[in-house]
């Protein structure tokens, strides 16, 4: 199964994650069907050089696997997943999906990208929360992860 565009770059994947975060945030708040949100995004928002196949993969599969993703996150959170800020919740779900279903993406990349998104869109210290949870998940699911939090610039 080919998961990526013919020549995805780190920048095109970052743009895809950013758009997917915004789309998944909308999905969480509205309950609208992901395919409708995808159509809206592709028609109304400039996607630049985003890896559209990756964007579609995230927007399609995170909602399909949300119960399993939330279950994987549950023991790592300090509160029920429903009480996590919606931005951080969407970021954590993207990260959990990538860690569990995208072996082509290095775990360090997953965490770094999630932290970057949390710094841009999340609450003031949300990036620290995202970093800690995904680092624990990376250790639990891949046997890897840092013993100290990563710093993303």
| pTM to 2 decimal places | 0.89
Is a pLDDT exceeding 80 seen at residue 4? no
State residue 8's pLDDT score: 81
pLDDT digits (tens, 9 = 90+) for 106-130: 999 999 999 999 999 999 999 999 9
Among residues of the chain, what percentage have pLDDT more than 90? 83
Long-range contacts of 137-143 (CB under 8 A, 24+ apart): 137/72, 137/73, 137/76, 137/95, 137/96, 137/99, 138/99, 138/107, 138/110, 138/111, 140/72, 140/76, 141/72, 141/99, 141/100, 142/99, 142/107
Average pLDDT over residues 119-144: 92
Does domain 10-142 bear CATH number 3.40.50.150?
no
């Amino acid at each position: 199964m080919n998961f990526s565009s013919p020549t995805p770059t780190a920048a095109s994947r970052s743009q895809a994650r950013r758009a997917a975060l915004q789309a998944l945030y909308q999905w969480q708040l509205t309950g609208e069907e992901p395919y409708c949100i995808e159509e809206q995004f592709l028609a109304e928002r400039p996607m630049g050089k985003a890896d559209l196949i990756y964007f579609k993969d995230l927007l399609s599969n995170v909602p399909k696997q949300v119960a399993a993703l939330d279950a994987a996150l549950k023991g790592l959170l300090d509160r029920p997943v429903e009480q996590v800020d919606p931005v951080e919740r969407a970021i954590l779900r993207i990260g959990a999906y990538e860690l569990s279903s995208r072996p082509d993406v290095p775990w360090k990349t997953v965490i770094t990208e999630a932290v970057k998104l949390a710094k841009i869109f999340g609450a003031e210290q949300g990036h620290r929360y995202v970093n800690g949870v995904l680092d624990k998940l990376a250790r639990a699911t891949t046997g890897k992860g840092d013993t100290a939090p990563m710093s993303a610039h």
